[in-house]
Structure formats: structure tokens, C-alpha cells
Structure 1
Amino acid sequence: MKDYKIAVIPGDGIGKEVIEAALIPIRAAASKHGAKLTETSFDWSCETYLKTGRMMPENGIDTLRDFDSILLGAVGWPKTVPDSVSLHGLLLPIRKQFDLYANIRPHRLLPGISGPLAKSDFDILCIRENTEGEYSGAGGRVHVGTPQEVAVETSIFTRHSVERILRFGFEQARLRRGKLASTTKSNAQKYTMVMWDEITEELAPAYPDVEVTRYHIDALSARMITHPETLDVVVASNLFGDILTDIGAAIQGGLGFAASANINPLGGVPSMFEPVHGSAPDIAGTGAANPIATVWSGAMMLDFLGEREASADLLAALSRITRRTLLLTPDCGGTSNTFSLAREIANAL
């Protein structure tokens, strides 16, 4: 039996609930297919920050390095800790230190789930550059608190990082329907985004089997709503990918279905898997949190670990349950709570 070491970071708010619940069917799927998950939980959160002044210990990255994967619940408690502190103290350091440069988010309607669009036949894979771009953290503020205060935030785009995320996008398109949408705003940002467009054109001849279309971010945002069925793989910068994937979550039924993977395709470091719904302080502790995004993220984790049959089985079980509305949580029109839904998914295996 293959034994995988999983670092579990429940984090804040509903993160603690959805992680504990989702691990029930994730473990069951792994076990059914001859794999074992050995989990180690780390209490790194905004609560930790308030006690220690750090979101995670100084040696946190080194602590995580020996794990096969990281499963993260949610980060943030803005009532007490600014998001700029929590994000830069935990999530972003993990992404950057392990060079998890590909953020992958699937957007499609699960059986029985209704989205806000009349169209339901879309299947979009958004790939977001995850280590630099608009979230590089380069900049600063001077004359703070005076009328002359200045804030500068610099986007960093390197040819190395742009090329590797585009190559990854091309390769994913080859595995799917052979269509790649690359998005920029090169009519307004004439340096970084023009370079992105140029690299897209340079790489395209190496993938003659992939149809490439370049969109400006505003046009692609509209297309995801008006013609989502025309899109297959979408590749975007850190900020643009962040925006597009929230649109994707909305059209697939809401943030309760928004799964993601932060990976380094080369391996050698633990990749991180997380739902992207946030800590939802308004429903934390009520049992109303939807665990589906976390279960889906767990299926992505199993697939990346090489347990493809377990991953497919877990997604199939999930799809069987979403057809039965009453078994779902209130955000989907059901009457279940977080844990009862998770147990139903495990039973469906």
C-alpha cells in the first residue's frame, strides 16, 4: 500500500470544518484503491498570528518540505487580521517558496447543480500564473500618513515564468479539446502584456494541434458569461487569473464548488490543494459550509499524486450525490450540514 504524507492546514473559519469533513470521503477513496494518507495537522491561522505575531513558524516552509502534498482549508479573518497580513504570511510564501507556479481551477457544472446562466454545457480549465505578475509584492509606500503619501506596486513578469505557464497551458489543451485562450491587456499595458502576447505567438508553432486565441481580459470576462461553452483552457497572469476564476466559480454554481490546485509540474516539492471560497466568517461554526470544493480539491490532489483511479472514483461519487438536492447543503437548496454531506459522498463510493 502506497503511503502519502499529507500536511493539513485547516486555517481559519469554515476551513476547519470543510477540511475535517472532506477528509472523510478523500480518505475513503484513497483506501478503496490501495493508498493510505498519513496526515499531520498544522494549526497555522490568524488565531496563531494573534498569539505569536506570525501566521506560521519561521521554519514553516522547511517543515512542509518533506510532505507529498498540502491540503489547505482557508486563510483569513479580516475582523482581526488584515488580509494583506494573512495572505502574505501563509498562502503566498508557500506558493512562492515551493515555486508552485501553476494554479489550476476547473469550472463546470456538476450533475444536478444549477448555475446563473442558461447555458450548462461548459467545461473550462483556468490556469493562472501563481508566483509573480501583479502579486509579486514589489513596491512600497513613502510619506505614509501625510497628504504627500505615495504607494507604488510593480508587476514583475519574467520571460522564464511567462513561457513556462504558457507551455503548461498548451500541454493541458493537448490533453483536452485542443483550444487555448491566452488573455492579456496589451492594448493598455504595452510592456508586460505585449511580452506575454509575443511569447504566446513564439510558442504556438510548437503546438500545431492547439488552436490559440488571444483575448483582452475585459473581452474574455464577458465571453465567460455569454459564451462559456466556446472556451477550453484559459491561461492568465496572477491577477487576471484570479478575476476570471471567480467568474468561473460563479457560473458553476458558486464558491462552494471552487476547487483548486497549486502545483509545480516538475515535482520534488509538495504541491498544495485548496478550496478557494475563503473562511466565510458569517457562517463559520454553523455547519452550513459546503465541503464540495474541498472534496473536489482532494480529488485533484489524488490525481496529482498518481492515484488517478481513486480521483476519478471520488469525482464520480460526488457527481452521484449532487443529483440529489436534499442531500446537499443550504446554499444548493438542500437540508444537509457539512459533515452529513461529506459522509453521503463517502457512502457513494
Structure 2
Amino acid sequence: MSDSSCPAGDTGRPCPRGHRKLLLHVDLNNTILVSDAVTRQGTVAALEAFLSTVTWGRITKGKWEWVCDSPSLFPPCEGAVSYYGQFGRVAGFTSTGPGRKFRAVLEEHLSLLRWPSHVPEDCEFSVRGEDGRVYHWILPSFFTLLQDLSSEGREFAVLFRTFGTDMPRVLRAVHRALVEGSHPLFPDLPALKLGVRETAGRIRCSAKGAVLTCGDERLSSRDGERGLYQYFSSMQGLCGFQDHFDWWARNTYSILGGKPLWVDPFDRTVQHIFIDDNIRQNDEDTIVHPKLFLDPGGSQTRTASTTELYDLCLVQTDLLRAISDPAYFTQRVHICQENYESNLQQGAS
């Protein structure tokens, strides 16, 4: 069998990395958007809130003590807890209280987020922050990812996955950018020939399983989880699904209530990658529920721990790097591809 003709679902030798289809499940808020319509956070408040989740300290003799000088996705030492984990959401994190030491980090990244002054504001692609300044609404690094994967000749699709309410606006914006060529900073995106489905679907979960609806389409895990996996694996272009926040809350914000992600480790032709800032290596506090198939072509799955699939199928968004490095998302996807390939090779040996 030639490398370029590996059929979907084939469980023979792995296809080359360049021929494995990528299904990118991409969160919105604090992943490609620095704002949140549900919590009514503008750009400044959303970035401050993110900073409170990646700065670390502990309570010593009844007082908060920092154990880090710079933000990090991971605790720098045993016993460290994020400021958000200790105190919850605090308005004005860097303008009042202990978070002032990170004010320079906030200002640096707000500066990087600024919409170019020589480009007119755009109602779809730019947003005016609480401070009166104009910022990017969708991060440029997301559009760079699409360009990079297309230039590599990759087959891929993007599935936006969010608990929030920003989906309709995001789908309108990416349609304007990718189909109409209306993004003033990325005018060549229509050349990628990526379609956009502007009608979002929904995923609702219960103790009985997951149900996906999109227009006239309806799939249920009660009819077999393989069907949902194949549905997602066959996606083309860009589309979106609103996930089930109430189910996550009912499951105490743990892995069992998270956004479902079906992964078939026996399928050499498809790789699913979920990118979300709330992915955590602590399964008691994470937002994606990875469901790993047990057998080739089978329908039974098990819950995989986050650490098992971290940087293979799960990417915890570093929002600061997504703002500062245009190649950030491309780099993270490449890391997942390489790690996934290594795991496939080990499994085949």
C-alpha cells in the first residue's frame, strides 16, 4: 500500500506524519479569544483572570506568599497553589493586592495584543477593551496555524468546542476571513480553500451517554461510541459545537464531566488533538474527558487520564505564549504529532 493511499480506519503500518489527518478540537475563551461573553470579561479582565491561574504561591502563617516570579502552567514546587485556586476569581488581579508584581506581564501582553494603529478597526476581528484601546479579538496565532498546516500539505479540520456563547460570532468571523477574504491582516486565507459551517451543533451529556445534534443530524453514544468518533473524524473545514457546562459542574469540574474526546489509538490515519486552557494534569480539575477505544474497530472505551494523553492528544493552552509567539499553536501541534508517532511506533514494535 502506498503512503498516500492509507484508508481511514486502516490499522496496518502507520501513515507518514504528513498523511495523517488532524482533527483539532479548539476551545475559544482564553485559547484563541482573550475575552468571555458569559462572564462579561473584556480583554484586560480576561487576561488578568488567566494570569491568576498561572501564578503560584501558598499560605504561610496565615498570609499569602508567592513562590514564583513569573507565570507558569505548572506549579514550581510541591505545595504551590495558583492564586485563582486559593482565592477564586478576583477583579483587578494586577491592579490591587498581591498580583501587582505581575502588572508588567499584563501590560507587555496587552501591548502585543494591540490592533495595528494603521489598520482601521473591524467589527468582526477587533474589539475595544475596557481601557479604550483596540485589540485583536481572534488571536493571529490561530490564523497562522491554519496557514502553516496548509503550507505543509496537511489534511485537517478544526472543531471549535466551547461551553460559552461566543460561537456564533466566531463562526461568522472565520467565515469572513476564510471564505470572503475580509481579514485585513490575513487577506490570503481564502486560498487555503477551507469551508466554514456557520450553524453550530450541541453536545449534551448525561449518565446515559452523550448526544450530538447539528441541524437535522443526531448521534448518540447509546448507539455506539464508534459512530461519534467516525463523525468527528470525517469533518472537513471548520465548524463548532457547544459543550455541556452543567454536566461538567455536576461532576465537580472533573474529567468525568468534561468535553468528550474520542481517541482510537489503533487508527493510524487520524489524530485528534484538543487545545484548551483548562486542560489540567489533575483529573479532579480538568475540562476534557478523553475516551480511549479498547480494541481495533471496537465500540467499548475507557476514560484515559490527562497525563496519559498530555502533549499527544491534549494541549493545555499557554495564553501568554499564544499571544507573544505567532507560531505557538503550530509548535504545539507539531509536538503532539511527533509524540503520537513515537507512541504508534512503540506500539507496533
TM-score range, shorter chain: 0.3 to 0.5
TM-score by length of 2: 0.34
TM-score, normalised with respect to structure 1 = 0.34
| Larger relative helix fraction | 1
Higher relative contact order (CA 8 A, sep 6+): 1
